[in-house]
Amino acid sequence: MKVFDGGWVLQSTTVGTSAAGDPVRIPSCLVVTVRDGRIARFEEYADSAAAQTLLGVTGVSPPPRSRAARD
């Protein structure tokens, strides 16, 4: 966990088993912003390719990155 002025970031891995019985590991990251002693924003990011395994989806390419993300 990385604590910063105004919140924290937590990296983790969710571990489980798919419906087909296969092991699944999904890396994720939580970003929490605190204002006036209260959580103002809670963002969770997960590895979408790993999450597809949990759902039984295979061979799916990630969506193209936006122009803003490429620049």
What is the per-residue pLDDT for 2? Answer: 96
Read off the pLDDT of residues 52-63 as tens digits, 9 standing for 90 and up.
877 766 655 555
Read off the pLDDT of residues 14-26 as tens digits, 9 standing for 90 and up.
998 888 888 889 9
**How many domains, the chain?**
1
What domain range is 51 assigned to?
A: 2-70
CB atoms within 10 A of CB 63: 7
Read off the pLDDT of residues 37-46 as tens digits, 9 standing for 90 and up.
999 999 999 9
With a cut of 70, say whether residue 8 has pLDDT above it: yes
Does an H or E element contain 69, and which? helix 67-70
What value does the mean pLDDT of the chain take? 84
